[in-house]
Every structure is written in C-alpha cells, then in structure tokens.
C-alpha cells in the first residue's frame, strides 16, 4: 500500500491534487486546477431537476447493493416466509450475500452526491432464487419474481423510499433488468435426475441441441421438480413452452441466443407472448416504482425482433407515466462498434454500454498501446448515428462487475510500477471517461482504489468493512486501508479527483454534449488530443491527454487567438502563426477553452465518394462524402442524409458532425439499395445551408 509522509498527506488533502506522484518514485504528473468559469445556464438548475434533466448531463455510479452498506441487518437472511428466497448469507464467502441493502444505500447518498454522482445504477434487485449450486443470488441475476424486491435488500416500500429520497436530492435511480432468462427451475430428463440434480457431475452442462436437431425430433424433455411448479411470478413464466429448452449455450452461433446460461432458463424471445409478457412486466415496474431508466442485461443473447418492439413500448409507457427523459441502455458484451451499434439501429434501443471505449481507453491509459486506437474508435461513431440515436447517448465505463476493475488491469499490466503511478493512471483513465463523448459510469469502489483479484466474484468487494479474506489481502491504490476497513473515505485521492472532474463536467455543457473531434493521436504512447464543441456556443474546448511517463508537447491548429486554462495548466495558450503548442505532464492532461468562436466555413460542393455495402456490417450501406474547399481545422459542419424509402418518399437516415462525413443506412430500407437516392443537407451552423439530391450509383 502507498505510504505517504505526513507532509505529502497534508498536501494531498489540502490541494485535492495527485501530488502523491511527486512524493514517490513515480514520474511527476502535476495537475494544477484553475477555477472553472460558470456556464450561462446554472448547473444548479438542471442538477436539482432530475425529472427533466437530459441523461447526457448525468454521471452514473454502478453499484451492487449487497456489497455497499448494510443498513438493516434484520433482512440479511432474506425472506421470512418463502424458502426459495431465504438464506445464502455468509459475508466471509465472496459468492454469498454480504448484507448490503437499500437502506444502506440510502444512508450513503450524500457520499455519492458529494462525489458529483447524479444517477445510481443498481444491479438487479427483484426477488431471486437465494441459492443455486455453490453460490447465492447476491448479484440479482436469478429472478423468480418480477413484481417485488428481493427481501435480502428490503421491501417494495424501501425501494420507493430510496427512489423518493434520491429524487429529493436531484439524483436518478436506474434498474438493471433481465429479459433473457430466469432462475434455473426447468430441468431436462436427459440431463437431470427427478430431484433436479445433474447427471453430469463433471461439467454440470447439458449439450446444446441445434435447430436442425430439433427439426429431426432430437429434443430435450423439460420438467419441473415437484414443489417448484409455481415458483415464478407472473404465473405464465412457469410454463416450459415459453422457453427454448435446447441445453446450455456454447456462446457462439445460434446457441448464443437460444442456449441456457449455465442452466438459467432461457426464454424464447421470438414468441409474441414472451415479448408482450415482458413489456407488461416492465410497464408495471415503471408504473409502481417510477425509476428513471433501465440497463438491460445480456442484450445480444435475445432475439433482435424482441428489442424492436420492447424498447419503443417501454419508452412510450415511461413518457405516459410522466418520465419524459426515461433512458434505456443495453449490455452488449462486444468491443466492435459495427456490431454494438446494430442494437441501437436495427434493434431500436436508445443506447448501449460502450465496450468499445472501455477496451480502447484501458489499452491506451492503463496499458501502453497506441493512442491512435482512440482515433479509430471515435471515427467508428458513424455506426451509431441514425434517426433516433447517437454516440453521445452511450454509457461509457472503464471497469465493471464482470470483467474486473481498473486497478486489476493496472496491476496486471504494470506489475513493477509504483503504486503512485498506478493511482495516477487510474485517475487519468477516469478523466478520459469523464471528458470524452458519452455518459460516464463509475464502478463502485474504484473511487477508493479497489483492485480485486480477477473478474466476476473477485471484482465485487465490500465498501462496508469486509470479512472476506480474499478481498482483505488486496493492496488498494492510493491508501493504506484494506477492504477490512470502512471505505467511504471522502479524502481518498481518486475520490477527490472524481469530485473535481464532476464539477468541471457539470459546469461546461460542451464537455457533456459537445461534438467530439479528434485533433491528434500519437503512434506511440503519448498524446491524444480532441475537441469538444457545443453546437450553439461554437467555442472549442481543447483537451490533450498524455499516456506517456514523460512530458509531451503537441502543436495544433488554433481556432482562437487565445485559450483559457480550465484544468492542468496555469497560463493561457496564445496562438502563433495560427497554431498553439500544448505541453502536457507525464500521465496527465490539460483542458483549455477558446476565447473566440470557431470561424465559419463554407463548402463549395458536396459529392459522394463512396457508396458500398459496409465491410464490417453488411446489412448497411456505407456512404461517404467529400466537402470541397474545407481545410480549416477544427471546422463545423452538420451533414444530414435522407434516403428514398420503398414508399418513394425521403426518410431521415443519419446526421454527422465530424469528418470524414458518412452515413450508415440499413440497405433494406433504401429503395434500390446501393443504387438508391439520397438527399444531403450540409449546414455550417452559421446560416449557410445547402442541399443536394444524389444518386448512389457511381
């Protein structure tokens, strides 16, 4: 653990800057904060009004309630009346309930608010099967009753009280929901004995049966163990006919959608009755509890047609219930934007978790890979742009409960580096998540330097004092504490930095909703520079990150004669011969705001240079444009693509604000496909609007 001298500790606490790097053998990374200027719209206004606040203004905190704080020990064993949801409490075991609950979370709302958190995302909290095999349902993903809170966490009234209290503080509450599966109740005669125990005691798996096998009559015979026929609520979920019953997933091909998750009962999400049933379930959840949105589990393992109906129905119902900015985002565990985006375009889901950013941000700042990976990542944002979704609605993160913590990645990638360097890298990676496009999500405990020993159970430590030996032997970043201590430390250097980042984020709309434009990316570890530009303000925020352990500088085209420092520097930047030179400390970053608006530019012409089936997502046509006469960087242009649909009328396709300007249009929607017709409107956001109809046949 990091040992701070009394003087160094005092500096950390007094200045709230990571001067620990200057008190150790790690490379220095001084970060001097200049007070941020207040935005024209008071941040206090939107951060008190949770109901009408745009989700892009939020900062999320993702938490497992069981591992946070035990506010009511009387519910530690769960249900007093229903044995299926009772027991599983053993705080010494990382796979059992540890006692955290909603009362504990409510008691700690001020801790989250002081860190700048505005939205809390809870892992699933509906009533679970308490025990399943050698583990407990502390995580919430083994639901048997979709109408009530799991008694280990409290009552339905406790949930309403938590939401009301959070709302009174201007904070939102998001539920983690499941449509792919329920708890493991259905068994197969070919795999299980009558008591439900498994015939295969080596793998405890049932071989997956493909659709071709089913067509030939090779099927499993589902049954339910006596006494468990009516476990699930609502009652229709107890009928095996609504499930695929094809055995355990092989995690690829058709089995990824139709197979059971290690025995969990996989629903047939192609059936209209299942789609309508889950729409009703979650409409009732919205009506009864008034959450502010849903995170949806295991999205890619559900049939795409399910999402096309489910997502719009849920969003519409939330609006009817008086929740105008209800947001839905899905978990699609894949790092390729060409695949991830299919669920926001074809699947009509408003947003997904940005696994692409997670992988690339960690590769650059928590490892030593090229910053050009980030340039490519944001160039791929065109995949997300369609009529009703965009990349700035994605939820961004750098660690989670499945893959593990940022501290784990740092320990694995830099085993010989000092703790101070790892702490600084954690702060730098978090900063990138806060200020790049998207909505930041902090994984609970990362603000306290938690590291974990691995993924899954090993990454789900207790914030309250832990008695789990495999957690308590971990070396936390930035502190002398262990997980055996109370870890709600508001003087922890990472916590302090995240609170500081939140204040900057909330003060400047461009850092929340501005256009993200890459300005420079080094080939080797070093500089990634980008702009955030709010469309109406049109002043550049220049952000330059340094992933190297040495100080770096970069020369960039200037959009203003002078830039004011907002973070990481003391003196203004002054342009010379149309350029600015930006110096960035080792493992640090700087933020500047331009004094002047970006000069408007006018394109002399627009033409299609590419119209072809997209190589990475063949269901789409990739259209790329050239705007003639634009050389200034950065420059502002809004390029909107409409296409002629099968009814012969123009339909909205995509909007792009960053070069190279593109549109990704679903081929089946365009009359004539790659030989169809588009109407392109280019707007320099300063009054010059041009429109052109173009045949895609080149």
Annotated catalytic sites, by residue? 297, 331
What count of other Cβ atoms lies within 10 Å of the Cβ of residue 395?
25
Segment (H or E) for 520: strand 515-521
Cα–Cα distance, 528 to 161 (Å, whole number): 44
Q: Is 534 helix (H, G, I), strand (E, B) or coil?
A: coil
| Cβ–Cβ < 8 Å for 172, 164 | no
Cα–Cα distance, 397 to 361 (Å, whole number): 9
Tokens of 50: 């949770």
Composition of the chain by helix, strand, coil, percent to 5: 30, 25, 45
Q: Is 506 helix (H, G, I), strand (E, B) or coil?
A: helix
| Cβ–Cβ < 8 Å for 144, 92 | no
Question: What crossing angle do the helices spanning 355-365 and 419-435 adopt, rounded to 10°?
Answer: 140
Cα–Cα distance, 401 to 175 (Å, whole number): 15
The burial of 74, by beta-carbon neighbours within 10 Å (0-12 exposed, 13-18 middle, 19 or more buried), is given as exposed
Q: Is 685 left (phi over 0), alpha (psi -120 to 50) or beta?
A: left
| Cβ–Cβ < 8 Å for 445, 461 | yes
C-alpha gyration radius of the chain: 26
Cα–Cα distance, 366 to 370 (Å, whole number): 12
Segment (H or E) for 499: helix 493-507
Instruction: State phi, psi for 31 to the nearest 5 degrees.
Output: -130, 100
């Amino acid at each position: 653990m990091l040992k701070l001298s009394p003087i160094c500790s005092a500096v950390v606490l007094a200045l709230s800057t990571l001067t620990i790097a200057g008190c150790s053998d790690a490379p220095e990374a001084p970060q001097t904060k200049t007070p941020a200027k207040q935005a024209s719209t008071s941040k206090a206004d939107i951060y008190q009004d949770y109901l009408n606040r745009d989700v892009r203004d939020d900062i999320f905190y993702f938490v497992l309630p069981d591992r946070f704080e035990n506010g009511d020990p009387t519910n530690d064993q769960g249900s007093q009346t229903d044995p299926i949801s009772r027991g599983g409490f053993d705080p010494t075991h990382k796979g059992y309930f540890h006692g955290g609950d909603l009362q504990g979370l409510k008691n700690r709302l001020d801790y989250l608010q002081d860190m700048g958190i505005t939205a809390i995302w809870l892992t699933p909290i509906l009533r679970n099967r308490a025990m399943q095999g050698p583990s407990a349902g502390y995580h919430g993903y083994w639901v048997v009753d979709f109408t009530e809170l799991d008694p280990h966490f409290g009552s339905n009234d406790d949930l309403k009280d938590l939401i009301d209290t959070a709302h009174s503080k201007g904070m939102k509450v998001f539920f983690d929901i499941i449509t792919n599966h329920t708890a493991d109740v259905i068994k197969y005669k070919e795999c299980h004995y009558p008591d439900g125990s498994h015939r295969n005691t080596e793998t405890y798996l049932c071989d997956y049966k493909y659709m071709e096998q089913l067509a030939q009559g090779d099927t499993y015979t589902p049954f339910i163990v006596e006494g468990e026929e009516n476990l699930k609520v609502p009652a229709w979920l107890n009928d095996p006919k609504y499930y695929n019953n094809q055995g355990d997933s092989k995690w690829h091909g058709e089995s990824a959608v139709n197979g059971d998750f290690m025995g969990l009962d996989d629903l047939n999400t192609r059936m209209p009755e299942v789609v309508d049933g889950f729409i009703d379930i979650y409409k009732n959840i919205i009506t009864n509890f008034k959450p502010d949105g849903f995170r949806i589990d295991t999205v890619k393992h559900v049939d795409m047609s399910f999402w096309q109906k489910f997502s719009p129905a849920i969003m519409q119902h939330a609006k009817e219930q008086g929740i105008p900015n209800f947001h839905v985002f899905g978990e699609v565990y894949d790092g390729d934007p060409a695949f991830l985006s299919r669920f926001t375009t074809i699947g009509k889901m408003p947003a997904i978790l940005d696994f692409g950013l997670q992988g690339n941000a960690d590769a650059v700042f928590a490892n030593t890979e090229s910053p050009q990976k980030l340039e490519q990542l944001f160039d791929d944002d065109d995949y997300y742009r369609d009529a009703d979704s965009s990349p700035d609605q994605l939820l961004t993160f750098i660690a989670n409960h499945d893959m593990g913590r940022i501290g784990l990645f740092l320990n694995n990638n830099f085993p010989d580096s000092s703790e101070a360097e790892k702490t600084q890298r954690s702060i730098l990676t978090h900063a990138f998540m806060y200020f790049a496009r998207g909505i930041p999500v902090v994984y609970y405990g990362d603000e306290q330097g938690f590291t974990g020993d691995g993924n899954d159970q090993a990454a789900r430590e207790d914030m309250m004092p832990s008695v789990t030996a495999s957690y308590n032997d971990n070396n936390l970043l930035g502190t002398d504490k262990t997980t055996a201590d109370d870890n709600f430390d508001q003087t922890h250097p990472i916590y302090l930095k995240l609170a500081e980042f939140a204040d900057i984020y909330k003060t400047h709309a461009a850092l929340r909703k501005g256009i993200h434009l890459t300005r420079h990316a080094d080939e080797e570890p070093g500089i990634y520079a980008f702009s955030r530009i709010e469309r109406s303000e049109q002043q550049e925020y220049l952000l330059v990150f340094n992933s190297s352990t040495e100080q770096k500088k970069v020369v960039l085209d200037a959009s203003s004669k002078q830039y004011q420092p907002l973070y990481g520097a003391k003196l203004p930047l002054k342009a010379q011969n149309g350029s600015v030179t930006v110096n960035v400390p080792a493992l640090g970053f700087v933020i500047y705001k331009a004094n002047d608006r970006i000069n408007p530019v006018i394109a002399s012409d627009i033409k299609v240079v590419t119209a072809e089936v997209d190589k990475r997502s063949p269901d789409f046509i990739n259209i790329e444009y050239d705007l003639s006469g634009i050389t200034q960087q950065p420059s502002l242009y809004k390029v909107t693509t409409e296409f002629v649909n099968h009814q012969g009328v123009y339909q909205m396709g995509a909007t792009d604000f960053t070069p190279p300007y593109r549109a990704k249009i679903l081929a089946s929607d365009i009359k004539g496909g790659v030989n169809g017709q588009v109407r392109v409107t280019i707007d320099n956001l300063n009054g010059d609007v041009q429109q052109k109809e173009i045949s895609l046949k080149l």
